[in-house]
Amino acid sequence: MNQSNSILIQVPATTANLGSGFDCIGTALNLYNEFEFSLSDEKTSFTVVGDGQEKISLKDDNLLYQSFVKFYQHLNLPIPEVHIKISIKVPLARGLGSSATAIVAGLLAANYFSPQKLSQENLLNLAIAIEGHPDNVVPAFLGNCILSVGKENNWHFIPINCHEDIKFIVAIPDFELSTEEARSVLPKQLSYHDAIFNIAHFGLLIKGLETGKKDWLKEALNDKLHQPYRKSLIKGYDQIHEAVIQAQGYGMVISGAGPTLLALSSSLHAEKVIKVMKDTWENLGIKADVKCLDLDTKGTIIREI
């Protein structure tokens, strides 16, 4: 079978944690980065378009390219020269898995062009090793809402059903928050009380997502492991949370490490939730792009071009 010299890879954004599911659950959303790879006779080069393009490295330290290289190093194979075009739709450093899209695309492009292929399991293991945790790269790769349990090269990826009426509303502010800064405010130790709180709420979260039951989701989105500490880094968090509840949303959480805020809502109240999230932040002097998104069920797609 002939292989194309050019491919287009589409990778979905992801939202991790969903409140009580800290560092173990993530959901793919229908917002996408696209990466075009073309084999080249010249030195590897990059083209970047989209918001934040000036922040993307055009050198060997580009995360997308590093992931591409990592694949070939893993198999001790020569690294082909490529031209890479990056089309950004997932905002950078906002808690929507932009780095995960780069890691997944780099590995899958390398696997496509390589004479030696890796299994899906091994590709996922490599992606997790590069990212450091599974909650964004796994749903970016597979789609859907995924619970990741395990360690090193022994992982279990469990799909979590999401009720079809649940809408994922992301409010993306015009400021960034690095994962490193968001992790720096977390405590080194936690009490048994807080651990038990999150265990119970995470169990309820899974059932709430499956059923779309408002009372369950409203309670399940509460958390004591990361949000109480991180919300101080996000201006207006408490005011927006209260506005979401008043607008009949199920609740609100920090998307990934933030600063994007994620509200869950029924389709019936989604427009009202969108408006109050945008208006509340604007009243605090912060512009935000608010989108109503659905679950992505396909994950990463590769097309020959």
- Determine the pLDDT at residue 2: 74
- Determine the pLDDT at residue 193: 97
Average pLDDT on 129-144 reads: 96
Average pLDDT on 247-262 reads: 97
- In this prediction, residue 1 has a pLDDT band, given cuts at 50, 70 and 90, of low
- Determine the pLDDT at residue 196: 97
Q: What percent of the chain has pLDDT over 70?
A: 100
Question: What are residue 298's phi and psi, to 5 degrees?
Answer: -105, -25
Ordered structural domains, the chain, with CATH = 6-160+295-304 (3.30.230.10), 166-293 (3.30.70.890)
Which residues in the chain belong to E strands, given as ranges? Answer: 6-16, 25-39, 45-50, 82-88, 145-151, 154-160, 166-173, 251-254, 261-266, 288-293, 301-304
Distance CA 207, CA 216 (A): 8
| CA 89 to each of CA 96, 269, 295: distance values in angstroms, whole numbers, following the listed order | 11, 26, 16
Average pLDDT on 8-21 reads: 97
- Determine the pLDDT at residue 177: 87
Pairing of strands 25-39, 45-50: unpaired
Average pLDDT on 221-243 reads: 96
Is the confidence at residue 223, as pLDDT, over 90?
Answer: yes
Q: Is 59 exposed, middle or buried (0-12, 13-18, 19+ CB in 10 A)?
A: exposed
Provide the 8-state DSSP code for 133: S
